[in-house]
Amino acid sequence: MENIFSIAEKCLYETGGAQILPLTHQAKHALNDGYLSFQSNGAIKPIDKVVFPEKPEWMAPHKMPKRRLNSDVGRAAFFHALAHIEWVAIYLAWDIIYRFRDLPDQFYHDWLTVADEEASHFELLRQHLLPMGCDYGDLSAHGGLWEHAVDTADDLLARLAIVPRYMEARGLDVTPDMIKKFEKLGDAVSVDILKRILEDEVGHVERGSYWFKFICKENAFDFEQKYQQLLIEYFKGLPKGPFNREMRLIAGFSQNEIDWLENRVNVK
């Protein structure tokens, strides 16, 4: 019987990312076969000790160059950036498993499934990049997504509000337009990859919504008010719109939450 927290520690701290893909897939197989324990074990290491690969070089988001899709270089840069998001998303899924203990087994089932799907997304994107003459790590990338994980390392509700229910939910807003752009370019392979990622990401955000509401209910919090409070507290600046209302509703947002986000964008 393998232990999910021991595997998480290996992924986050012991291999420098070198084994995170096979370990993630192996853990999912162990889960499917009923050979995974959720018994909390060992002290939880601090998040600032998590080890990432030496490449890519991480830069501040505002220093990243703009990506234009009408050139081969621009398309490679776009998919490298997307691959980096998926790579960090694997870490995010393992970290929420590792850092927050004594929750229902289904919590760990759900986030391991997310980790496994994010790993598959990364592998798809890397294979897509290679014919462009680019591999993951060849270009710089930004660390904004992981910074939110560090900021919320001690607060599960904040982690759920900021990572799946804000940062990842942005993918539901912007990916449909990206799909349309690649359709216009006649790039069917890119369209198929983006559609696959979008379909899975709806489920990931939905799991974030489910567990956010679950924990709010356990603590007698109003989930809509709590979401607003945490976003104001942890997120710097105003939310970015527009918002894909249809997909966000499927992913567990309420009409009131989306209305509030839209009103926040309009605050001067």
Indicate whether 62 pLDDT > 70.
Answer: no
Tell me, what CATH number does 226's domain have? 1.20.1260
pTM for this structure?
0.95
List pLDDT tens digits, range 175-204: 999 999 999 999 999 999 999 999 999 999
- What is the C-alpha separation between 57 and 247, in angstroms, rounded? 33
- What is the C-alpha separation between 36 and 28, in angstroms, rounded? 9
Expressed as residue numbers, the domain containing 47 is: 2-265
Amino acid at 97: I
Q: What is the DSSP string of 51-97?
A: ---S-SPEE-GGGSPP--TTSHHHHHHHHHHHHHHHHHHHHHHHHHH
Token code pair at residue 217: 């209910």
Total structural domains in the chain?
A: 1
Q: How confident is the model at residue 268 (pLDDT cuts 50, 70, 90)?
A: very low
What's phi and psi for 142, nearest 5 deg? Answer: -105, 155
What average pLDDT does range 22-27 have in this prediction? 97
Q: How confident is the model at residue 101 (pLDDT cuts 50, 70, 90)?
A: very high
List pLDDT tens digits, range 236-258: 777 888 999 999 999 999 999 99
User: Within a 10 A sphere around the Cβ of 246, how many other Cβ atoms?
Assistant: 10
List pLDDT tens digits, range 114-160: 999 999 999 999 999 999 999 999 999 988 889 999 999 999 999 99
